[in-house]
Structure 1
Amino acid sequence: MGHLDHAAFGWLTSVLSYAMACIGAALGLRCTVRALGAHGRSRRNWLLTAASAIGTGIWTMHFVAMLGYGVDGTDIRYNVPLTVLSLLVAITVVGAGVFAVGYGLDRGRSLVLGGLTTGLGVASMHYLGMAALRLHGEVRYDPLLVGVSVGIAVVAATVALWAALNISSPIAVAVASLVMGGAASSMHYTGMAAVHVHVTPSGEALPGATAMQFVFPLAVGLGSYLFLTSAFVALSPTVGEREASASAQRPVESDRSSAPPASAVP
């Protein structure tokens, strides 16, 4: 069995992956909070942004952590279509969970359904990403640890959606994001602890792309998306700010309409 190294670059990839998970969680929570206070097209757009943020953050967390992953006795490559599919699955299934909460009439039922859907989506992303691995050998999993990792994903997703429904202050959202980031990272490393690789030495070239050829540039691009979207959300006025601005303008408009017309100059 090949020796698995989860930190080929030391703590760097672990810390960066945790940071990406926290940023995605914070952005997703803020967008969901905004969505719950909005209506119509605005609510839909905020929920779409939340889904893309959470899905992108978790995907980036997974593959940044995978940059430090290595197996003695074999190189590692990634199947590009499967890797991209794992990202699309993450965003799509997380979106289903977020929309269930955003539009559900029964909040309790919506929370359970949304948490289950989102958690299974996160787990699916993880194991699809692992299925994209190409190496000289066979990858096997400990069923118990796989089940634990899926359970962590479902619980973490449910707690995240509960936070979106019940937490609105920026400080509380920040704390919840740190907890969610830790839960997502725990799910990842629990899933990785379930991995056992039986190496079969071979001189044949592996198909697929290396992590630095494909995963790293994509992770950098998605990380940039998260930062830019965070700036957009931070600068966008909330519903309360818009209402306050509108109410402040009404007296001015009322004064102008009630003022007597200026006398005509002969």
Structure 2
Amino acid sequence: MHHFEMGFWLLFLAYLTSVVGSTVGLACTLQSRYAVSPRARLGWLLLAAVSIGGVAIWVMHFIAMLGFTTPGNPVRYDVSRTVLSAILSVGAVFVGLVVFGVRTKFALWRLLVGGLITGLAVNLMHYTGMWAVQIKGTISYDMGLVLLSIVIAVVAATAAFWFTVVVDRVSMRLLAGVVMGVAVTGMHYTGMAAVRVHVDPNAPDPPGLEVFTFLFPVFVLAAIALVVPICAALMAESPAEKEARLSAAPLTV
């Protein structure tokens, strides 16, 4: 079993993808806290969930999986389980973001519960995605490393949320994306370190698709998933601009 069959550059590409998706998603999360209506707030959180769950977690996972091989034996992916992992990732992240970002006022319990749910969403996507992996044999896990991967994801996701809202500076928002990228990538490779492969050379070739077969459509979907929230975030007023506009508005009697 190899995790970096194509080289260590995949680690950096996967991490960069996660940071970009996380940064865009956390920017949308911040915008949701200043939305003027509940509908607009949920719209921003949905864009954030697509960016974080769809790009930072799901796409990052399959970029990293390009390096996963069982030398001399094929690795295939069950399409329905792969799609399910994407749906669960976006949906679970959305739940975590709603808990954390649905109110403007900061609350510690929302930070902790939202970070917990979002961190668990990272794990949910990873292990559902690994459920889609088909090899000539079986896959098992070291439960100690699995638990460590859960802790890494939850702690770093909570820290990323904290950086997003507690300090209102662009540098801190970028740092939040970097921290969230650490959560996703660190969780992934810790989870992969937990993998134990038991190859059966006499087993038939597994069904499913090779990862390269669906990689191009995944990148296209990732680009679309990022363009929409990036454009929305660029066109939206920043919190400082909104505060300045409201303070400059004439008083009405």
Q: TM-score, normalised by structure 2?
A: 0.89
Shift in Å, 1:239: 4.8
- 1:6 corresponding residue in structure 2: 3
- 2:69 corresponding residue in structure 1: 70
**Is the 8 Å Cα contact of residues 24 and 226 (structure 2) preserved in structure 1?**
no
Q: Are 1:196 and 2:217 matched, yes or no? A: no
- 2:78 corresponding residue in structure 1: 79
Shift in Å, 1:231: 3.9
Q: Distance in 1 between matches of 2:200 and 2:109?
A: 48
**Is the 8 Å Cα contact of residues 35 and 46 (structure 1) preserved in structure 2?**
yes
Q: Are 1:45 and 2:43 matched, yes or no? A: yes
Q: Distance in 2 between matches of 1:16 and 1:5?
A: 18
Q: Secondary structure, in 3 states, of the residue corresponding to 1:70?
A: coil
- 1:207 corresponding residue in structure 2: 207
**Is the 8 Å Cα contact of residues 38 and 239 (structure 1) preserved in structure 2?**
no
Shift in Å, 1:25: 1.1
**Is the 8 Å Cα contact of residues 137 and 198 (structure 2) preserved in structure 1?**
yes
Shift in Å, 1:184: 1.5
Supply the AA of the counterpart residue of 2:200.
T
Shift in Å, 1:247: 7.7
- 2:235 corresponding residue in structure 1: 235
- 2:125 corresponding residue in structure 1: 125
User: Unmatched 5+ residue regions in structure 2?
Assistant: none
State the identity as a percent.
39
**Is the 8 Å Cα contact of residues 24 and 226 (structure 1) preserved in structure 2?**
no
**Is the 8 Å Cα contact of residues 78 and 207 (structure 2) preserved in structure 1?**
yes
Shift in Å, 1:109: 1.2
Supply the AA of the counterpart residue of 2:66.
L
**Aligned 1:39-188 pairs, distance under 5 A:** 39-40=36-37, 41-56=39-54, 57-103=56-102, 107-188=107-188
Provide, for residues 144-164 of structure 1, a one-character-per-residue CA deviation record: whole Å limited to 9, x for no partner: 000100111111221122222
Q: Are 1:22 and 2:57 matched, yes or no? A: no
Shift in Å, 1:8: 1.5
Q: Distance in 2 between matches of 1:231 and 1:8?
A: 36
CA, structure 1 residues 49+174, in 2 after alignment: closer, same or farther (shift >3 Å)? same
CA, structure 1 residues 96+203, in 2 after alignment: closer, same or farther (shift >3 Å)? closer
Provide, for residues 82-108 of structure 1, a one-character-per-residue CA deviation record: whole Å limited to 9, x for no partner: 111111111111111110012357711
- Structure showing greater radius of gyration is 1
Bigger Cα displacement from structure 2, 9-18 vs 164-173: 164-173
User: Unmatched 5+ residue regions in structure 1?
Assistant: 251-266
Supply the AA of the counterpart residue of 2:241.
E
Bigger Cα displacement from structure 2, 102-111 vs 194-203: 102-111
For this pair of structures, how many residues does the alignment match? 247
Supply the AA of the counterpart residue of 1:204.
P
Say what the alpha-carbon RMSD is for the aligned residues: 2.2
Shift in Å, 1:240: 4.2
Bigger Cα displacement from structure 2, 129-138 vs 46-55: 46-55
**Is the 8 Å Cα contact of residues 29 and 44 (structure 2) preserved in structure 1?**
yes
Q: Distance in 2 between matches of 1:121 and 1:182?
A: 15
Q: Distance in 2 between matches of 1:213 and 1:135?
A: 16
Q: Secondary structure, in 3 states, of the residue corresponding to 1:10?
A: coil
Bigger Cα displacement from structure 2, 188-197 vs 111-120: 111-120
Provide, for residues 216-247 of structure 1, a one-character-per-residue CA deviation record: whole Å limited to 9, x for no partner: 12431233134413244223333543565688
CA, structure 1 residues 173+246, in 2 after alignment: closer, same or farther (shift >3 Å)? closer
Shift in Å, 1:168: 2.7
Shift in Å, 1:117: 1.1
